[in-house]
Structure 1
Amino acid sequence: MTTPSRARIGVLVVDDHAVVRRGVAAYLEVLDDVSVVGEAVDGEDALAVLSDLSAHGRLPDVVLTDLQMPRLDGVAATREIGLRFPEVRVVVLTSFGESERVHAALKQGAAGYLLKDAGPDEVAAALHAAARGEVFLDVTVARRLTEELRTPRIGLGSLTAREREILVLVADGLSNREIADRLVIRERTARTHVSNLLGKLGLTSRTQAALVAVREGLVEPR
């Protein structure tokens, strides 16, 4: 019996350095289930490419973007992509010293982040997680970010037992539908719980919530 192949994940690569951009694109092309649908030189170019791809019904699943770029940087691009193309997920490429920019990108809705020297398994895991609507936390960056996260620790005490349980599931990368299935509740109820816990913790994204769970020792970074 033949096992059905998984749909390929379409990726748009954004970096202002041509050598880096083309190197990343070539690297991604050798990964199973990944297809590079385009390249862009900065955030403004990325939005133009996405508009063109959208017009032809070829929007990528994931945008893989650098953070430091001219005209429109990765943080601003993440915000604009979320507003104009909400079905497209963003994963940022970062170096270890860019934690402030990474925090800003997560606040704007980035689905995850990778160090620029990440191995093939990590890259594939981040892209697949993003395409599934989940979050991906690079272990090295997560530890650095959790040390700097400014969410008051007392905020965790404001969560109900159910919200704490759901926080762990969010950190484990489960979608609202998967949380609902796990807890035998409605998907709308799961979505409400996630929204409530984000509000109580003063957070704006599931990735930030996952970082809080890591910082508080509820889960290990993966």
Structure 2
Amino acid sequence: MMSLERREETEDDTATGIMLVEDHISFRQSLAYFLDTEPGFEVVCHVGSMSEAREAIERHDEVVDIAVVDLGLPDGDGVDLVRHLAESGVSTLVLTASLDRDDFARAVEAGASGVIHKTVALDRIVDSVRSVRAGEALLSSQEIIEMLRIASKKRYGDREAEKAFARLTAREREILSALAEGLDSKEIAKKFHIALETERTHIVNILTKLGVHSRLQAVVFVARHGLISF
């Protein structure tokens, strides 16, 4: 089993705590070093398997804000880990060598805030982590629509999902449709002539009612179950 590697705690409680989950140790160590030198970041731990990641999150759940996760782990599907992290309140950025768009859709449906390819430059990874921390979208409108198309091909009936969707108000459904169009918070607020704070309140209500953890996850959820058209 690969050993768990972690930093000593620092006095900077305001830093964004990062956990890396990547089985290629040289890449993991290089990325950990690069992220750790960035202002405002602290790599709390970096591990090489799902089992080590679950153990690490139990130890460091109060200080891990974002997990950067590879999908191709030696002891399981990284999508399952993304789901576990989302349930633990940890935001996840998937960093993968896969080119399978279905993998991307499954990761987002499980709770990932975004998916980027391993071939991108290191500064792009840093920018993506910052975007995740800020709650910003990492995918373009075109990428979101493509992901919805992938999800819609694998629709399946789910009575509980239909009940969850039925709890949404008419305005919440309109905002969900706007999310599916790829609109961001400012664009949604402008479209419906509402304040940004009101838009955020609607989003929180949508996520709560659907039992999901991100805007993208909400859109893929309803697309997967055939509850909206696009």
TM-score normalised by the chain length of structure 1: 0.66
Identity %: 20
Match of 1:129 in 2: 131
Tell me if structure 2 keeps the 8 A contact 1:18–1:41: yes
Unaligned runs of 5+ in 1: 153-158, 217-222
Kindly provide the CA deviation profile for residues 101-147 of structure 1, in whole angstroms up to 9, marking residues without a partner as x: 22221121111111112234532332123223444227896575355
Match of 1:191 in 2: 204
Question: Structure 1 pair 42/174, CA: closer, same or farther in 2 (3 Å)?
Answer: farther
Match of 1:111 in 2: 113
- Alpha-carbon distance between aligned partners in 2 of 1:124 and 1:17, rounded to the nearest angstrom: 19
90-99 vs 59-68, greater mean Cα deviation: 90-99
Residue 89 of structure 1 deviates from its aligned partner by: 0.8
Query: Is the counterpart of residue 73 in structure 1 residue 52 in structure 2?
Result: no
Tell me if structure 2 keeps the 8 A contact 1:114–1:138: no
- Alpha-carbon distance between aligned partners in 1 of 2:98 and 2:34, rounded to the nearest angstrom: 21
Question: Structure 1 pair 141/163, CA: closer, same or farther in 2 (3 Å)?
Answer: closer
Write the mapping of 1:160-179 to structure 2, written as runs, cut at 5 A: 160=170, 163-165=173-175, 167-168=177-178, 171=182, 174=185
The root-mean-square deviation of aligned C-alpha atoms, in Å, is 4.0
Question: Structure 1 pair 30/182, CA: closer, same or farther in 2 (3 Å)?
Answer: same
Partner residue of 1:46 out of 38, 53, 65: 53
Match of 1:28 in 2: 35
- Alpha-carbon distance between aligned partners in 2 of 1:16 and 1:76, rounded to the nearest angstrom: 16
Give aligned pairs, total. Answer: 192
Question: Structure 1 pair 26/115, CA: closer, same or farther in 2 (3 Å)?
Answer: same
Match of 1:150 in 2: 152
SS at structure 2 position matched to 1:149: helix
TM-score normalised by the chain length of structure 2: 0.64
Tell me if structure 2 keeps the 8 A contact 1:14–1:42: yes
Match of 1:60 in 2: 64
Tell me if structure 2 keeps the 8 A contact 1:113–1:138: no
